[in-house]
Amino acid sequence: MNPFFPNDVGSLQDEPILEVYARPQGNRGLRPLPVVHDENASCCTITSALYNTYRLDLTSYPPEDDYSCHHASHSARVGLYLNRGMITYPVTFCVLEGSEMVAVMTGKESCWSKQVTGNRIAAIVSLRSKEELEELERKQAADFEIMLRECEEESQRYAAEFRAMDERDATFQRQRQQAQQAQAQQAQQAQAQQAQAQQAQAQQAQAQQAQAQQAQAQQAQAHQRAQQTAHRDGGDNC
């Protein structure tokens, strides 16, 4: 009996005890990866096709590298997540050139950052067929086009909103400037009217004063003539 697969035929239907997860770029959640087991593998590996297709994000922590393998000198290293029951911890994988979207698990305990107990350490996940991969690529391309179109529409909407804001600001500035100019013109007109009224009042006062002076002069002349007449009449009677 295979120590890694106690139920060789029924293991595909069994609930996996151990799973491998990765975090895609820009995504906080973890995504399960298709996994196969290879007893002859010297270390845990992941194909570049799987890495690129899932757009996996490099981990920010340094993967624990407590083992050596012949891939280390010419391949990238990535930290994925090993989930076993309620425990999840990072594991170092080598990224190898490959067209099959698969992560390879090895039974060698030196591969893991923590010792794995039990007689089954890897779950078999059926790989997608060529048609399924092509359909997945088409769907991803369509989703990407939709995302680009939505981004473009959102960009255009934001641009239209900014233009509308600029137009509203320009209209407000024009209206405020026109209101200020109208207020200034009204103030100038009021000042001019007030000055004209004051000038008219001054002219009227001067005219009234001149008329009064003229009337006083006429009264004085009349009084003087009356006195002269009375004096002359008195002299004649003598």
Q: Are residues 146 and 115 in the same domain?
A: no
- Whether 65 is covered by a domain: the verdict is yes
User: Per-residue pLDDT tens for 39-58?
Assistant: 777 778 888 888 888 777 66
Whether 142 maps to a domain, the answer reads yes
Average pLDDT taken over every residue of the chain:
74
pLDDT at residue 164, rounded to an integer? 93
| 138 shares its domain with 108 | no
Distances (CA, A) of 202 to 18, 29, 199, 205, 212: 108, 90, 5, 5, 15
**Considering 107, 127, 147, which residue would you say is the last residue of a domain?**
127
Q: Return the bridge partners of 94, or none.
A: 45, 77
**Residue where a domain stops, chosen among 150, 165, 183:** 183
pLDDT of 117 above 60: no
Residue 14 and residue 115 in one domain = yes
Mean pLDDT computed over 73-97? 73
Residue 224, CA distances (Å) to 210, 216, 220, 228, 235 in order: 21, 12, 6, 6, 17
Classify burial at 16, counting beta carbons within 10 Å of its beta carbon; exposed 0-12, middle 13-18, buried 19 or more: middle
Is residue 191 included in any domain, yes or no? no
User: What would the pLDDT profile of 121-159 be if each residue is shown by its tens digit?
Assistant: 343 344 456 677 678 778 878 888 898 899 899 999 999
Counting Cβ atoms within 10 Å, is residue 33 exposed (0-12), middle (13-18) or buried (19+)?
A: buried
Dig out the tokens for 28 from the structure.
Answer: 């906080």
| Same domain as 47, residue 17 | yes
Residue 226 in domain: no
Residues 87 and 56 in one domain: yes
Together in a domain, 61 and 116: yes
Identify whether residues 148 and 95 lie together within a single domain: no
Instruction: Residue 138: give the domain boundaries.
Output: 130-183
77: CATH: 2.40.70
So what's the pLDDT on residue 217? 85
Residue 238 lies in a domain: no
CB 10 within 8 A of CB 76: no
Residues 16, 76 share a domain? yes
> Do 14 and 121 lie in a common domain?
yes
SS3 97: coil
Evaluate whether residue 197 is within a structural domain.
Answer: no
Q: Is residue 97 part of a domain?
A: yes
The verdict on residue 195 lying in a domain is no
Within 10 A of 121 (CB to CB), how many other CB atoms are there?
22
| 139/46 same-domain check | no
Total domains in the chain come to 2
% residues pLDDT > 90 (the chain): 17
Residue 144 shares a structural domain with residue 108? no
Q: Are residues 105 and 172 in the same domain?
A: no
